[in-house]
């Protein structure tokens, strides 16, 4: 039996949230742009939002069922909710926050989350990482049957974020609970989640493991969300069983995917190589032009050539002496070139 079983239908401001999900004891991420209805899904599970139609079942318990007129109030649902920015009670100490839900377990949780030394501190005095631990400890105090995380890493600076992402991953693996996680950052989802659903305008576009979404994005939105370059073009059958795509802004690329008509070409930055001259490898696709932007991120360099972003090691960027406005060749293989459906209008 699934640990968490959802079927939701409720109106949001400009569209309806309609989705069905079944989770086992896994971490499941809902990703999507802000305003897609991600947080509303968590609120519906917690009982803070009431769907017009559908059901929410947790283990053997029915938390909500519109047909049977069941709607368990939030305080009687065994749901742990870590809110965006954590929503710690500012007038209480860390210990009081953690023991708000269940008094007896607080000492153990403070110990486990390495916040015992902060027991008497107020949330206002804590760092982002410490707040997150308090928020998690507080949410787990009542031994919930599901853990809901709303943008758990968005309140953190990039440096802390990377460290806490790993820490959170270890915790979630340990917990053995169904975890429903909401994020607008695909990278967070890829690290933390076993499965990911892309939610746009209240509907799920694609569900799969993070690598499935990257390997075969269902549409241009999912492709760009997972970090791919997305270029519009018109596809037709070409030579050697390849598909030939005439790009909207000029140029032609080849793909092993089959498609005809309006498509979007998705290429991941790590599949794009940058060189001074035509490379002698098997790459079929080349974009020639000046570097419009060059950004160093740690040991990588993101190089943009005519709207196409390629990622190379910082070392090779240095070896090639890349500078902005230098004319270079961005190359990628036909096998690394995905053809996906155009994103629906309006996006």
Partner 1 sequence: MRRARRRRVFDAVLLSVTVVALTFLLLPLVAIFLRVPLAELVSQLGSGVAVDALVVTLETNAIAQALILLVGTPAAYFIATRRFRGRAVAITLVELPLVLPPAVAGLALLAAFGRLGLLGGTFEALGVEVSFTKAAVVLAVAYVASPFYIRGAIASFESLDQPLLDASRTLGAGPARTFFRIALPLAAKGLGAAAALSFARGIGEFGATIMFAGSLQGVTQTLSLAIYAQFDLDPDVALSLGALLVVVCAAILFIVKLLPAWTRSTSTSIYPFAPSGSS
Chain positions contacting partner 1, by CB under 8 A: 43, 46-48, 73-77, 79-81, 83-85, 87, 89-91, 100-102, 122-124, 138-139, 141-142
Number of Cβ atoms within 10 Å of the Cβ of 293 = 10
Question: Which residue's CB is nearer to partner 1, number 87 or number 335?
Answer: 87
State the minimum distance, in angstroms, from the CB of residue 114 to partner 1. Answer: 21
Question: Which residue's CB is nearer to partner 1, number 80 or number 152?
Answer: 80
State the minimum distance, in angstroms, from the CB of residue 121 to partner 1. Answer: 12
State the minimum distance, in angstroms, from the CB of residue 34 to partner 1. Answer: 16
Question: Which residue's CB is nearer to partner 1, number 137 or number 259?
Answer: 137
Question: Which residue's CB is nearer to partner 1, number 89 or number 270?
Answer: 89
State the minimum distance, in angstroms, from the CB of residue 241 to partner 1. Answer: 55
* Strand order across the 4-11 sheet: 16-23, 4-11, 53-58, 61-65, 70-71
Question: Which residue's CB is nearer to partner 1, number 63 or number 317?
Answer: 63
State the minimum distance, in angstroms, from the CB of residue 104 to partner 1. Answer: 13
State the minimum distance, in angstroms, from the CB of residue 180 to partner 1. Answer: 13
Closest Cα to residue 153, out of 100, 118, 192?
192
SS3 readout for 181-242: EEECCHHHHHHHCCEEEEEECCEEEEEECHHHHHHCCCEHHHHHHCCCEEEEEEEEECHHHC
State the minimum distance, in angstroms, from the CB of residue 150 to partner 1. Answer: 9
State the minimum distance, in angstroms, from the CB of residue 73 to partner 1. Answer: 7
Question: Which residue's CB is nearer to partner 1, number 80 or number 178?
Answer: 80
Question: Which residue's CB is nearer to partner 1, number 37 or number 47?
Answer: 47
State the minimum distance, in angstroms, from the CB of residue 202 to partner 1. Answer: 21
Question: Which residue's CB is nearer to partner 1, number 37 or number 101?
Answer: 101
SS3 readout for the chain: CCCEEEEEEEECCCCEEEEEEEECCCEEEEECCCCCCHHHHHHHHHCCCCCCEEEEEECCEEEEECCCCEECCHHHCCEEEECCCCCCCCCCCHHHHHHCCCHHHHHHHHHHCCCHHHCCCCHHHCCHHHHHHHHHHHHHCCCCCEEEEECCCCCCCHHHHHHHHHHHHHHHHHHCCCEEEEECCHHHHHHHCCEEEEEECCEEEEEECHHHHHHCCCEHHHHHHCCCEEEEEEEEECHHHCEEEEECCCCEEEECCCCCEEEEEEECHHHCEEECCCCCCCCCEEEEEEEEEEEEECCEEEEEECCEEEEEEHHHHHHCCCCCCCEEEEEECHHHCEEEECCCCCC
Question: Which residue's CB is nearer to partner 1, number 46 or number 265?
Answer: 46
């Amino acid at each position: 039996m699934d640990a968490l079983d959802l079927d939701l239908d409720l109106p949001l401001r400009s569209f309806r949230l309609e989705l069905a999900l079944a989770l086992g004891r896994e971490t499941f991420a809902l990703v999507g742009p802000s305003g897609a209805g991600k947080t509303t899904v968590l609120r519906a599970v917690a009982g803070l939002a009431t769907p017009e139609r559908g059901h929410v079942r947790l283990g053997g318990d029915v938390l909500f069922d519109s047909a049977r007129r069941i709607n368990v109030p939030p305080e009687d649902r065994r749901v742990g909710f870590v809110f965006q920015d954590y929503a710690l009670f500012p007038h209480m100490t860390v210990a009081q926050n953690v023991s708000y839900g269940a008094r007896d377990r607080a000492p153990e949780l403070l110990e486990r989350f390495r916040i015992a030394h902060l027991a008497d501190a107020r949330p206002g005095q804590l760092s982002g990482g410490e707040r997150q631990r308090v928020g998690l400890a507080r949410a787990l105090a009542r031994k919930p049957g599901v853990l809901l995380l709303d943008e758990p890493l968005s309140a953190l600076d990039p440096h802390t974020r990377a460290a806490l992402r790993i820490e959170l991953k270890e915790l979630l693996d340990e917990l053995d609970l169904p975890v429903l996680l909401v994020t607008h950052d695909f990278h967070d989802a890829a690290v933390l989640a076993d499965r990911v659903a892309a939610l746009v305008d209240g509907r799920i576009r694609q569900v799969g493991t993070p690598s499935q979404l990257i390997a075969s994005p269902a549409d241009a939105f999912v492709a760009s969300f997972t970090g791919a370059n997305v270029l519009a073009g018109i596809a037709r059958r070409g030579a050697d069983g390849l598909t030939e795509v005439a790009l909207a802004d000029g140029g032609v690329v080849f793909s092993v995917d089959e498609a005809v008509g309006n498509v979007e070409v998705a290429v991941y930055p790590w599949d794009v190589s940058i060189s001074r001259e035509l490379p002698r490898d098997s790459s079929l696709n080349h974009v020639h032009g000046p570097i419009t932007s060059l950004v160093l991120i740690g040991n990588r360099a993101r190089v943009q050539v005519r709207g196409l972003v390629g990622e190379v090691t910082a070392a090779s960027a240095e070896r090639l002496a890349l500078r902005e406005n230098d004319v270079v060749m961005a190359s990628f293989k036909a096998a690394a070139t995905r053809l996906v459906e155009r994103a629906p209008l309006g996006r």
